[in-house]
Chains A and B, each alone.
Chain A
Amino acid sequence: MSEISNQLENLSYKAQQIANEASQLASSVVDTSGGHSDFIIFGITVLVLACFVGYYVVWSVTPALHSPLMGVTNAISSVIIVGALLAAGPIDSTISKYFGLVAVGLAAVNIFGGFVVTNRMLSMFKKK
């Protein structure tokens, strides 16, 4: 009798473990596949809203500063460096890492070049 109850206990323990594993697997599946397709919808939401923000902010820029606007937008579009850094991050030497490093260099040219040239332009605008 006690043996059976022991076995039952064991079984129920194993069942619990399997259930735990299953739920973990399920959640990781959601993370990789379902999670990402969720991001597309979320990302598009962000994109559309940001376009509206951009629309209103850019129309408020005075036409006299349209060249500096291009300078700044050029510099901040290099925020792509975030992707480049992740790509260049791994310690091992792979083709993918070198692509990342090249992208870091290219984006850095832009970041520095864009901000410096914009600063140069803006420092020239003076009042009477």
Chain B
Amino acid sequence: MSNLTTAAYLISSVLFILSLRGLSHPSTARRGNFLGILGMTIAIVTTLANPGVLSYKEIGIAFLIGGLIGTSIAVRIQMTALPQLVAAFHSLVGLAAVFVAASAYYNPSAFNIGNVGAIPMGSLIEMSIGTAIGAVTFTGSIIAFGKLQGFVSGNPLVFKGQHFLNLLLGLGIIALIVKFCIDQNQELFWLIVAASFVIGVLLIVPIGGADMPVIVSMLNSYSGWAAAGIGFTLSNNLLIITGALVGSSGAILSYIMCKGMNRSFLNVLLGGFGGEQAASADGVKDDRQAKQGNAADAAFMMKNSKTIIIVPGYGMAVAQAQHALREMGDLLKGAGAEVRYAIHPVAGRMPGHMNVLLAEANVPYDEVLELDEINRDFSETDVAFVIGANDVTNPAAKTDKTSAIYGMPILDVENAGQVFFVKRGMASGYAGVQNELFFRDNTLMLFGDAKKVCEDIIKGLEN
């Protein structure tokens, strides 16, 4: 690699780092994204200038087709569908890694790693590990996509001996890699790919829909490690640096999500949490009656309050209620109330999902606060308006040691003067735990579709 090329790749790496750095504040974030684009452009142009790259026409066509597909999807996608879009994109990185590794195996001289059948051991190890991670990322992301999109049931699929099977497959892949590094046999290469495809599916099927934020972050991390693996095969620092950035980013996001649920990463990975099974396991019937209110009552009470905190959850995204909610907030602000939004770390189906949806509805970002920033303020708040969230407000997490969600950080909405819960019905949340807040004196349930309820309150406020 010439010095000029190395320098250009280094500039790209630095630009990628700066691009992530830009995301530390909304005001610098767009510039960050631009630096990322610049870094990618430099990387691509530098590679095209490599003397080994000659087939510009075919490359141009492939690049154009991919670019058109990517752009048209990204322009059209609804913001509520972001999690599944990201999952789908991760799968492509994984698959691309598999193809690059396969290509390196069939034509090693293009990568300066020896000749067919005589690839150095080090390159074989890197190649096979990169392939395995890429293949797991591919099928794992497809299952995650299916669960988020609703093609595959969001309930955890658990069967006997599942973990044992995964363990066997994992050991099998290691054995295949060892044998491949010795024999350099092409059947072995494809066996590694196939076994990794299978384990990618098996790893994700037992994981419930609401644990997907962790999984999407984890797959984000994997796609980075796959890129780093290919970077070793190519002896290319740019790929290694970028892979490490993406890998650690995904890992940190998974960690934040796990902490937001007070569960260990292993506990999420082993799966079986949530969905119908957990709900039925809870079993105990609750005879208490929750107080039910209507939109007119809510409108009247909120009109006369000074401070309001809105707590959105995944239910808001499902009902596409963010625009109606913002309109309601504007009317309340017009009536003289202070309106703010409180976001729990695991609200929604991907990290930061609620923030994007509220931003889409034109809620200014300085009115949207994180759990640590706003949690103390509930005690001085007249109304907490919970829309489409449940488990993240359950006080049992603080008091009931037997609860499935014990220890999870929660938003202290019960400290507010009045709590409104917008819900479709009395069903328990994802964790399958009954929320005792429903039965408190200062709680009023507003049953119905989140968007419909907001619109009814807007009508009430306008009268």
Q: Could you tell me which A residues sit within 8 Å of B by CB distance? A: 32-33, 36-37, 39-40, 43, 46-47, 50-51, 53-55, 57-91, 94-97, 99-128
In the complex, what residues of A have CB within 8 A of residue B235's CB? 36, 39, 43
Give the complex CA separation of A125 and B30 in angstroms: 10
The residue in A77, A85, A110, A118 that gathers the most chain B C-beta atoms within 10 A of its C-beta is A77
The residue in A55, A70, A74, A120 that gathers the most chain B C-beta atoms within 10 A of its C-beta is A70
A64 near B237: Cβ-Cβ < 8 Å: no
Question: Given A112-B70, A115-B37, A125-B29, does the pair A103, B100 have CB atoms closer than 8 Å?
Answer: yes
Give the complex CA separation of A46 and B239 in angstroms: 10
What's the nearest-Cβ distance from chain A to residue B361, in Å? 9
In the complex, what residues of B have CB within 8 A of residue A104's CB? 59, 62-63, 66
A64 near B59: Cβ-Cβ < 8 Å: no
What's the nearest-Cβ distance from chain A to residue B376, in Å? 17
CB-based nearest A residue for B44: A81
In the complex, what residues of A have CB within 8 A of residue B227's CB? 77, 79-80
Give the complex CA separation of A86 and B364 in angstroms: 45
Give the complex CA separation of A99 and B134 in angstroms: 14
Instruction: Please list 8 pairs of residues, one from A and one from B, whose beta carbons are closer than 8 Å in the complex, sorted by A's number.
Output: A37-B120, A50-B244, A57-B20, A74-B223, A91-B54, A112-B68, A113-B71, A127-B26
B70 near A32: Cβ-Cβ < 8 Å: no
A97 near B30: Cβ-Cβ < 8 Å: no
Give the complex CA separation of A119 and B67 in angstroms: 15
What's the nearest-Cβ distance from chain B to residue A128, in Å? 4
A101 near B58: Cβ-Cβ < 8 Å: yes
What's the nearest-Cβ distance from chain B to residue A63, in Å? 5
CB-based nearest A residue for B51: A89
Across chains A and B, which 7 residue pairs bring their CB atoms closest together, nearest first? A108-B66, A66-B352, A113-B70, A54-B248, A96-B107, A112-B70, A89-B53
Q: Could you tell me which B residues sit within 8 Å of A by CB distance? A: 12-13, 16-17, 19-21, 23-27, 29-30, 32-33, 36-37, 39-40, 43-44, 47-48, 50, 52-55, 58-59, 62-71, 73-75, 77, 79, 82, 85-86, 89-90, 92-93, 95-97, 99-100, 102-107, 110-114, 120, 122-123, 126, 216-217, 220, 223-224, 226-228, 230-250, 252-253, 256, 343, 345, 350-353, 355-356, 359-360, 362, 364-368, 370
B17 near A57: Cβ-Cβ < 8 Å: yes
What's the nearest-Cβ distance from chain A to residue B22, in Å? 9
CB-based nearest B residue for A71: B86
B52 near A86: Cβ-Cβ < 8 Å: yes
Give the complex CA separation of A90 and B217 in angstroms: 36
Question: Given A61-B20, A68-B33, A99-B99, does the pair A76, B86 have CB atoms closer than 8 Å?
Answer: no
Give the complex CA separation of A58 and B230 in angstroms: 23
Question: Given A43-B232, A89-B50, does the pair A73, B20 have CB atoms closer than 8 Å?
Answer: yes
What's the nearest-Cβ distance from chain A to residue B333, in Å? 11
CB-based nearest A residue for B64: A108
A117 near B102: Cβ-Cβ < 8 Å: no
What's the nearest-Cβ distance from chain B to residue A127, in Å? 6
- A70: which of B37, B66, B220 is its contact (CB, 8 Å)? B220
In the complex, what residues of B have CB within 8 A of residue A58's CB? 20, 245, 248-249, 252-253
A87 near B19: Cβ-Cβ < 8 Å: no
CB-based nearest A residue for B27: A127
In the complex, what residues of A have CB within 8 A of residue B43's CB? 79, 81-82
CB-based nearest B residue for A128: B364
A77 near B223: Cβ-Cβ < 8 Å: yes
A60 near B21: Cβ-Cβ < 8 Å: yes
- B36: which of A61, A76, A123 is its contact (CB, 8 Å)? A76
Give the complex CA separation of A51 and B55 in angstroms: 35
A117 near B114: Cβ-Cβ < 8 Å: no
B70 near A116: Cβ-Cβ < 8 Å: yes
A72 near B19: Cβ-Cβ < 8 Å: yes
CB-based nearest B residue for A100: B103
CB-based nearest A residue for B60: A104
- B103: which of A60, A61, A81, A99 is its contact (CB, 8 Å)? A99
